[in-house]
Structure 1
Amino acid sequence: MVMLALQWGGGEYPWNSATVIGLFVGFAVTMAAFICWECYMGDQAMVPIVLLRGRSTMLGIAFAFLFLGSFVIPVYYLPEWFQIVKSASPIRSGVMLLPSVCTQIFGSLVCGILAKHLRYYNTWLFVGSAFLCIANGLYTTFTVSSPSAAWIGYQIFQGLGCGFAAQIPLLTVQFALKNRPRYVPIGIATVLFTQYFGSAVMQSIGGAIFQNELKRQLQDQASLDNAQIEMLLNAGTLRVREVSVQAFPDHLADIIAAYNKSITTIFYLPIAGSALAFILVSGIPWVNTRSPQKDDMHYTEETDDLQSDKKTAV
Structure 2
Amino acid sequence: MDIEPPRLSHRQVNLVFAGLMVALLLAALDQTIVSTALPTIVGDLRGVEHIGWVVTAYLLASTIGLPIYGKLGDLIGRKVVFQSAIAIFLVGSVLCGLARNMPELIGFRALQGLGGGGLMIGVQAIVADLVSPRERGRYTGIIGAVWGLSSVAGPLIGGFLTESADWRWCFYVNLPLGLFALVLTAVVLKLPRPRSRPRLDVLGTVLLAGTSACVVLVTSWGGTEYAWGSAPIVSLAVLAVVLAVAFVFAERRAAEPIIPLHLFRQNLFAVPAAISVFVGLGMFAAVAYLPTFLQMVNGASPTQSGLLMLPMVAGMTLTSIGSGRIIAATGRYRIFPILGTGLLTAGMVLLSRMTADSSMVLNSVYMFVTGLGLGMMMQTLVLIVQNAVEYRDVGAATSAINYFRQTGASLGTSLVGAIFIHRLTTELAASGARLPVRGVSSITPQMVHQLPPPVRSAVAHAYAAALPPIFLYLAPIVAVGFVLAFFVKEIPLSERLAAPSPGVAAHSR
Shorter-chain TM-score above 0.5? yes
Aligned partner of 2:393 in structure 1 is 183
Aligned partner of 1:125 in structure 2 is 337
Structure 2: gaps of 5 or more residues: 1-213, 504-509
Q: What are the within-5 Å matches in structure 2 for residues 63-212 of structure 1?
A: 63-177=275-389, 180-212=390-422
Distance in 2 separating the partners of 1:116 and 1:127: 18
Alignment counterpart, residue 281 of structure 1, candidates 471, 485, 489: 485
Instruction: Compute the displacement of 1:118 (Å).
Output: 4.0
Aligned partner of 2:442 in structure 1 is 234
For residue 87 of structure 1, give the secondary structure of its aligned residue in structure 2: coil
Determine if the alignment matches structure 1 residue 26 to structure 2 residue 26.
no
Of 200-209 and 146-155, more deviation after overlay is shown by 200-209
Instruction: Compute the displacement of 1:157 (Å).
Output: 0.8
Aligned partner of 1:36 in structure 2 is 249
Q: Indicate conservation of the 8 Å contact 1:215/1:229, yes or no.
A: no
Aligned partner of 1:45 in structure 2 is 257
Determine if the alignment matches structure 1 residue 218 to structure 2 residue 431.
no
For residue 445 of structure 2, give the secondary structure of its aligned residue in structure 1: coil
Structure with higher RCO (Cα < 8 A, 6+ apart): 1
Of 147-156 and 262-271, more deviation after overlay is shown by 262-271
Aligned partner of 2:475 in structure 1 is 271
Root-mean-square deviation (CA, aligned residues, Å) is: 2.5
Match of 1:281, as an amino acid?
A
Instruction: Compute the displacement of 1:98 (Å).
Output: 1.0
Distance in 2 separating the partners of 1:217 and 1:202: 22
- Cα deviation per residue 1:211-251 (whole Å; 9 max; x = unaligned)? 222212222x22358x8662553232332232x42xxx644
Q: Indicate conservation of the 8 Å contact 1:128/1:164, yes or no.
A: yes
- Cα deviation per residue 1:25-73 (whole Å; 9 max; x = unaligned)? 12221222112222333x6211001111111111111112211221111
Q: Indicate conservation of the 8 Å contact 2:427/2:465, yes or no.
A: yes
Distance in 2 separating the partners of 1:284 and 1:79: 34
Instruction: Compute the displacement of 1:147 (Å).
Output: 0.7
Distance in 1 separating the partners of 2:290 and 2:463: 12
Instruction: Compute the displacement of 1:135 (Å).
Output: 0.9
Match of 1:4, as an amino acid?
L
Distance in 2 separating the partners of 1:182 and 1:241: 56
For residue 214 of structure 1, give the secondary structure of its aligned residue in structure 2: helix
Aligned partner of 1:14 in structure 2 is 227
Q: Residues 231 and 13 of structure 1: is their aligned pair in 2 closer, same or farther, counting only changes over 3 Å? A: closer
For residue 14 of structure 1, give the secondary structure of its aligned residue in structure 2: coil
Q: Indicate conservation of the 8 Å contact 2:382/2:398, yes or no.
A: yes
Distance in 1 separating the partners of 2:488 and 2:414: 28
For residue 267 of structure 1, give the secondary structure of its aligned residue in structure 2: helix
Q: Residues 159 and 44 of structure 1: is their aligned pair in 2 closer, same or farther, counting only changes over 3 Å? A: same
Structure 1: gaps of 5 or more residues: 293-300, 306-314
Distance in 1 separating the partners of 2:428 and 2:324: 46
Distance in 2 separating the partners of 1:277 and 1:19: 31
Q: Indicate conservation of the 8 Å contact 1:210/1:263, yes or no.
A: yes
For residue 446 of structure 2, give the secondary structure of its aligned residue in structure 1: coil
Q: Indicate conservation of the 8 Å contact 1:7/1:207, yes or no.
A: no
Match of 2:325, as an amino acid?
I
Distance in 1 separating the partners of 2:280 and 2:225: 27
TM-score w.r.t. length of structure 2? 0.52
Give the number of aligned pairs: 286
Instruction: Compute the displacement of 1:16 (Å).
Output: 2.8
Match of 1:230, as an amino acid?
R
TM-score w.r.t. length of structure 1? 0.82
Match of 2:418, as an amino acid?
A
Distance in 1 separating the partners of 2:315 and 2:349: 18
Distance in 2 separating the partners of 1:52 and 1:117: 29
Match of 2:300, as an amino acid?
A
